[in-house]
């Protein structure tokens, strides 16, 4: 079946439940406004089942109702993850049995970007979204260079550490700084390494487009919401499980 609609308690009933807040004092008008909003969202009939004042200026609503929208699953467009998601245990086990050494990851923020929030979320043990950072993985050696690392510094440290992968985070996007910095970085690595020895290059940040990897000269672009587990799984996929296929 390729046409679907929400399921409440009967096939095809189209029932959904939503909750939201309006910046209005609780009143008849506020409840009417909530119903109207629900209508405009395609909920018809819309049942405002709960309305509660939150302080003098806001009201919280719960609305149940039927939506008239249909979804054709054949026309759903998604970018599928092309590597399996592994648990930290599986990542450790895969590295240990295949490489017999720890995998080294060197990371940092290049250029004048001082926002380590992204790189720290991925690397620091504290992690992100309930997942521990790469430091937590026993078989990963993490070197976090922090903020404002120059490209030559990054390359030098990568050589010194015999890095398997480079993780670069870019938050600041003024005058496309994130794109320029990334291109400079990937060019420097291509220059410094023979093509078969080059570490895996990964860049991440909230304003990147996942499809730009080729243009930027990196192996992978990660976008907002990427978790450490996804990065670890990708590293394992590229450097352990699928090792021979590392692109030049």
Partner 1 sequence: MRGKLDLDPVVVRKARSLARQAGRPIVNLARKHTTVSVERATLRLAGLQGADADGIPWVNRLLDAVRGDVGLEHGVALPVWDALVRGEADDLAVLAQKASAGSVRFRLPEGRDLTRARAAAARQVGAGVKRIDARRRERDRLVKRHGDPAQQPWIYLIVATGDIYEDIPQAQQAAREGADVIAVIRSTGQSLLDYVPEGATREGFAGTYATQENFRLMRAALDESSKELGRYVRLTNYASGLCMPEIAALAGLERLDMMLNDSMYGILFRDINPIRTFVDQRFSRQVHARAGIIINTGEDNYLTTADAVEAAHTVTVSQLLNEYFAKEAGLEDWQLGLGHAFEINPDLPDSFRMELAHALLARELFPKAPLKWMPPTRHMTGDVFRGYLLDAFFNLSGTLTGQGILLVGMMTEAVVTPWLSDRDLALQNVRYVLNAAGNLHEDFVPRPDGYIVQRANQVLAESIDLLEKIIAHEGKHGLLEAIADGTFGLMRRPADAGRGLDGVAVKAPGYLNPATDILEARS
Report the C-alpha gap between 66 and 102 in whole angstroms.
Answer: 54
Question: Nearest distance from residue 222's CB to partner 1, in Å?
Answer: 17
Q: Is 75 a catalytic residue?
A: no
Residue 29 or 54: which CB sits closer to partner 1? 54
Binding partner 1 by CB under 8 A: which of 5, 96, 102, 132?
A: 132
**Beta strands 3-4 and 71-72, pairing class:** antiparallel
Q: Decide if residue 58 touches partner 1 (CB under 8 A).
A: yes
**Residues in contact with partner 1, shown as a per-residue x/- string from 161 to 180 under the rule CB under 8 A:** --------------------
- Which of 40, 126, 141, 245 is the catalytic position? 126
Question: Nearest distance from residue 110's CB to partner 1, in Å?
Answer: 16
Query: Among candidates 30, 90, 23, which has minimal Cα distance to 63?
Result: 30
From residue 219, alpha-carbon distances to 46, 100, 165, 202, 214 in Å are 48, 24, 10, 6, 7
Segment contacting partner 1 by CB under 8 A, of 2-10, 73-81, 127-135, 213-221: 127-135
| Residues of span 37-56 touching partner 1 by CB under 8 A | 52, 54-55
Q: Decide if residue 117 touches partner 1 (CB under 8 A).
A: yes
Binding partner 1 by CB under 8 A: which of 120, 139, 164, 230?
A: 120
**Alpha-carbon torsion, ordered 61, 62, 66, 67, to 10 deg:** 60
CA-only gyration radius of the chain, Å: 24
Question: Nearest distance from residue 245's CB to partner 1, in Å?
Answer: 32
- Number of Cβ atoms within 10 Å of the Cβ of 106: 26
The secondary structure of 93-161 as a DSSP string is HHHHHHHSSPEEEEEEEBTT----HHHHHHHSTT-BTTB--GGG-TTEEEEE--SSB-HHHHHHHHHHH
Q: Decide if residue 146 touches partner 1 (CB under 8 A).
A: yes
Would you tell me which residues interact with partner 1 (CB under 8 A)?
A: 19-21, 52, 54-55, 58, 60, 114-117, 120-121, 124-127, 129-130, 132, 135-136, 138, 144, 146-147
Would you please indicate which residues are annotated as catalytic (active-site) residues? Answer: 126
């Amino acid at each position: 079946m390729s046409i679907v609609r929400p399921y409440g308690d009967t096939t095809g009933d189209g029932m959904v439940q939503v909750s939201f807040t309006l910046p209005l004092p609780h009143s008849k008008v506020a409840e009417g406004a909530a119903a109207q909003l629900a209508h405009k969202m395609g909920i018809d009939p819309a049942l405002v089942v709960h309305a509660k004042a939150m302080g003098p200026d806001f009201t919280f609503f719960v609305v149940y109702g039927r939506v008239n929208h249909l979804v054709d699953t054949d026309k759903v467009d998604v970018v599928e993850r092309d590597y399996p998601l592994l648990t930290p245990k599986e990542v450790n086990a895969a590295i240990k049995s295949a490489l017999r050494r720890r995998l080294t990851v060197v990371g940092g923020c290049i250029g004048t970007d001082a926002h380590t929030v992204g790189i720290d979320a991925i690397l620091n043990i504290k992690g992100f979204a309930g997942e521990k950072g790469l430091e937590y993985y026993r078989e990963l050696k993490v070197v976090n260079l922090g903020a404002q690392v120059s490209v030559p510094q990054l390359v030098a440290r990568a050589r010194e550490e015999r890095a398997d992968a480079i993780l670069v985070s870019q938050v600041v996007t003024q005058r496309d700084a994130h794109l320029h910095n990334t291109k400079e970085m990937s060019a420097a690595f291509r220059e410094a390494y023979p093509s078969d020895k080059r570490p895996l290059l990964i860049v991440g940040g909230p304003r990147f487009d996942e499809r730009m990897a080729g243009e930027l000269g990196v192996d992978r672009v990660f976008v907002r919401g990427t978790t450490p587990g996804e990065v670890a799984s990708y590293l394992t996929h590229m450097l352990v499980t699928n090792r021979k296929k590392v692109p030049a």
